[in-house]
């Protein structure tokens, strides 16, 4: 019996290592020759036919891929992306702001301001350079940090901003902010502090505003009109943004709310009644009912691991690992044979790697 257990464990370890290697290949395949990092390589011959084309640059997705690859020892494309932002991303040098997404050659594709992306890129830069910023990168850090500062008022964003799911706005006239977005900006300014200590002071003031608005529970949107709908992206306030400690009572409540409202048969959805499934046909974006997002399962697993709940974390990770095919992790998993997710998604593979590396302090076993 002991030999059988050891054999099974050895097989699982080899399969896991195979997915690690596949994940690094997927992420590297999202990095194109001019430095852009796309969300998914839709040129792959087995990329699903009737799903959205994700061969565009979302700086948020790219940031998670940069960090995951860096921590896994793959460091040959991140600098190219940072320079792409400086040299190609439309309007970046003028405003210091990152918008919804971009064509590979640099023009804006969609025009909403997703301010969390500024913070995410600053985090990725700091993770890569460890505060030893080359001159050009210092310029990029300052641009991104100043961009955040330019749109932050007295407790809210002073211009219209969109959430990371690209579906909701925070309105300046309502003195609103999306909690995830503000947390990303706080982390970003903290990462920019080696360039100018004033950024740390700004981050501290923003953190006070966030915690004041969330003192009774972590909510999706704060302001004169609040939105307390459960949203699994708020796990980001624990990691990577570090606003709350893993064992904070507010995190206890958040995890409980997610498990009650968003977990179905082990998979985590973004928020209640999510309709987006990534299907594209007849020239329209069909919204036939959202599935579970592997990104969120691995995010939950990562946070639970930080809380010391390794066995519980593994359940969430295994829900994904037991359902994927051919070492490809999609955007969404569905409980039927009709719907199909964008696959492989770079962000999904990045979150797998980040969860996988966590037990050894950020190093691959």
pLDDT, one tens digit per residue, over 300-349 is: 999 999 999 999 999 999 999 999 988 999 999 999 999 999 999 999 99
Q: Sort 164 into a burial class: Cβ within 10 Å, 0-12 / 13-18 / 19+.
A: buried
- Work out the number of other CB atoms within 10 angstroms of the CB of residue 188: 30
Is pLDDT of 6 > 90? Answer: no
What CATH architecture applies to the domain 10-360? Alpha/alpha barrel (1.50)
26-30, 256-260, 277-281: lowest mean pLDDT where? 277-281
Q: What is the DSSP string of 329-364?
A: --S-B-SSSS----SS-HHHHHHHHHHHHGGGTSS-
pLDDT, one tens digit per residue, over 240-269 is: 999 999 999 999 999 999 999 999 999 999
Quote the CA–CA distance of 3 and 72 in Å, as a whole number.
31
Q: What is the pLDDT of residue 226?
A: 98
Mean pLDDT of all residues belonging to the chain: 94
Q: Average the pLDDT over 279-302 and give the result.
A: 95
Quote the CA–CA distance of 172 and 37 in Å, as a whole number.
31
Quote the CA–CA distance of 128 and 155 in Å, as a whole number.
30
Q: Sort 10 into a burial class: Cβ within 10 Å, 0-12 / 13-18 / 19+.
A: exposed
Place 363 in a pLDDT band, splitting at 50, 70 and 90. Answer: low
Q: What is the pLDDT of residue 185?
A: 99
pLDDT, one tens digit per residue, over 108-157 is: 999 999 999 999 999 999 999 998 999 999 999 999 999 999 999 999 99
pLDDT, one tens digit per residue, over 214-247 is: 999 999 999 999 999 999 999 999 999 999 999 9
**Domain boundaries defined on the chain:** 10-360
Place 359 in a pLDDT band, splitting at 50, 70 and 90. Answer: low
pTM: 0.95
Place 284 in a pLDDT band, splitting at 50, 70 and 90. Answer: confident
């Amino acid at each position: 019996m002991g030999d059988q257990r050891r054999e099974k464990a050895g097989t699982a370890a080899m399969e896991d290592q195979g997915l690690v290697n596949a994940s690094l290949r997927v992420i590297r395949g999202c990095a194109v020759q001019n430095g852009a990092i796309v969300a998914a390589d839709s040129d792959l011959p087995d990329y699903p036919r009737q799903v959205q084309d994700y061969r565009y640059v979302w700086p948020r997705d790219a940031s998670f891929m940069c960090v995951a690859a860096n921590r896994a020892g793959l460091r040959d494309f991140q600098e190219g992306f940072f320079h792409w932002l400086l040299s190609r991303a439309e309007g970046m040098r003028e405003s210091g702001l990152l918008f919804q997404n971009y064509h590979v050659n640099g023009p804006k594709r969609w025009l909403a301001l997703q301010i969390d992306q500024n913070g995410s890129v600053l985090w990725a830069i700091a993770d890569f350079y460890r505060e030893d910023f080359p001159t050009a990168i210092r310029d990029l850090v300052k641009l991104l940090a100043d961009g955040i500062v330019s749109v932050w008022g007295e407790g809210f964003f002073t211009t219209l901003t969109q959430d990371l799911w690209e579906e909701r706005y925070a309105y300046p006239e309502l003195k609103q902010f999306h909690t995830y977005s503000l947390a990303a900006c706080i982390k970003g300014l903290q990462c920019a502090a080696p360039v100018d200590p004033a950024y740390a002071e700004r981050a501290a003031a923003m953190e006070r505003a966030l915690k004041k608005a969330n003192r009774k529970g972590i909510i999706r949107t704060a302001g004169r009109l609040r939105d307390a709908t459960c949203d699994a992206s708020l796990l980001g306030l624990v990691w990577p943004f570090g606003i709350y400690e893993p064992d904070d009572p507010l995190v206890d409540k958040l995890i409980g709310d997610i498990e009650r409202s968003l977990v179905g048969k082990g998979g985590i959805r973004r928020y209640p009644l999510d309709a987006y499934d990534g299907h594209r046909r007849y020239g329209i974006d069909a919204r036939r009912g959202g599935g579970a997002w592997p990104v969120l399962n691995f995010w939950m697993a990562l946070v639970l691991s930080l809380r010391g709940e390794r066995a519980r974390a593994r359940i969430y990770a295994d829900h994904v690992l037991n359902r994927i095919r051919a070492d490809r992790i999609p955007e969404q998993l569905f409980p039927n044979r009709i719907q199909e997710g964008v696959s492989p998604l770079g962000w999904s593979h990045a979150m797998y790697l980040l969860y996988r590396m966590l037990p050894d302090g950020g190093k691959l076993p």
